[in-house]
Chain A
């Protein structure tokens, strides 16, 4: 097929997206505990310094480490995450538990969807199964990194006592 010489931006639809916020829950506290310390057989609520959402993970009565749950502000939304810290003070992992992200609504101008037919599989939009293609989450990530740093500092100071 001969290649076209020029291409243009041709308007095909108007997207309409009233801002609504929906929470995506990835993990409950219990699931996060298991994800961070799969080998543990018990999680006991505790306090680590000023942190009240903290649990001791143990196996056969031996302490494996701590699960700390914290919230940070993302770009606009709150992000709840869990940090697993081993007894050696090393980070096991960070799991995002809750990410309240905003979602759009419906599309105005139904004609736009016709444009995609034959080019790739298309169908009526299914909002319950959808996923986000979010650009600009970088700030959220930085805030989590800062949050983790803060939790580790509190954790280290509390356990030194």
Chain B
């Protein structure tokens, strides 16, 4: 098992894998490419170009960018815009992003896309894909709250306890899977099912889903809206909430 960490995607990305050194280097390389393509500040990247030009003419994007935009659209749709890569700036919304055939993207009106809430998860997925291609037997990729594990050994997933950043509690163990954690969001009410009492604003939401990209986007929507079948059952995802006292809640129908 080799462990390596690098500052990437605005966080510390750590990779652990039973693989050759070369495999980890390539996985980090894949993450750097995603960063270059999807960070709005990389001038030659896809998203910078979409923000600059797609209102006037269609912009052709990389297949990876299209994959992320499609996932973002699905979650925006399911959350009725609670998750929205336009962040509502310039009065635009996710519905103004037109995903055309052959990876062409157009904007119905000027908008500033920010894939921060979903591209990090995609980068994690891609790193795992790369590790597997280089025959890694098992491992994990963690990008500051976005995590994916794979392989034959079970690995423990931990979450930080809100309000106690120095401590992390084990949540569960899994062999294959991905999850993403979001900190508390102001203005969103979460209610305890036992008594209808409103939870304090200090909580974190963790979503486990089939891909880290999906988990990344869903965790924002769930943090904003609370648990909803349209968000979780529809994508086969599970959500957990940890509050300041360390109580773990699961989203149940």
Contact = CB atoms under 8 A, between A and B. Distances in A.
Given A8-B227, A95-B4, A75 B145 contact: no
Given A8-B227, A102-B167, A132-B168, A15 B4 contact: no
B187 interface: no
B199 A145 contact: no
Contacts of B166: 19, 21, 76, 102
A107 B7 contact: no
A124 B159 CA distance: 17
B3 interface: yes
Contacts of B159: 15, 133, 135
Interface in B206-253: 206, 208, 226-230, 232-234, 238, 241-242, 245-253
A141 interface: yes
Interface string B148-176: 01000111111111001111111111111
B4 A26 contact: yes
B41 interface: no
A96 interface: yes
- How extensive is the interface on chain A, given as a class? 35 or more
Contact of B147 (A3, A14, A104, A133): A133
Interface in A88-145: 93-96, 99, 102-107, 112-113, 115-116, 119-127, 129-138, 140-142, 144-145
Contact of B170 (A3, A93, A104): A104
Contacts of B248: 11-15, 112
A15 B161 contact: yes
B11 interface: yes
Contacts of B129: none
A16 B12 contact: no
Interface in A7-66: 7-21, 24, 26-27, 35
B183 interface: yes
B77 to A, nearest CB: 16
Interface stretch (B49-57, B65-73, B84-92, B190-198): B190-198
B173 A126 contact: yes
Contact of B167 (A11, A18, A116): A18
Contacts of A7: 226-229, 232, 251-253
Nearest to B177: A120
A152 to B, nearest CB: 14
A159 interface: no
Nearest to B219: A135
A6 interface: yes
B76 interface: no
B192 A135 contact: no
A39 to B, nearest CB: 14
A15 B144 CA distance: 20
Give 7 nearest A-B pairs by CB, closest first.
A4-B253, A8-B193, A135-B145, A15-B169, A130-B156, A96-B5, A137-B144
21 contacts: A7-B229, A7-B232, A8-B251, A9-B192, A9-B251, A10-B252, A11-B194, A14-B248, A15-B170, A15-B246, A15-B247, A20-B167, A96-B14, A106-B170, A107-B169, A120-B174, A134-B142, A134-B144, A135-B181, A137-B12, A141-B11
Interface of A: 3-21, 24, 26-27, 35, 74-76, 79, 81, 93-96, 99, 102-107, 112-113, 115-116, 119-127, 129-138, 140-142, 144-145
Interface of B: 3-7, 10-12, 14, 16, 21, 140, 142, 144-145, 147, 149, 153-161, 164-177, 179, 181-183, 190-194, 199, 204, 206, 208, 226-230, 232-234, 238, 241-242, 245-253
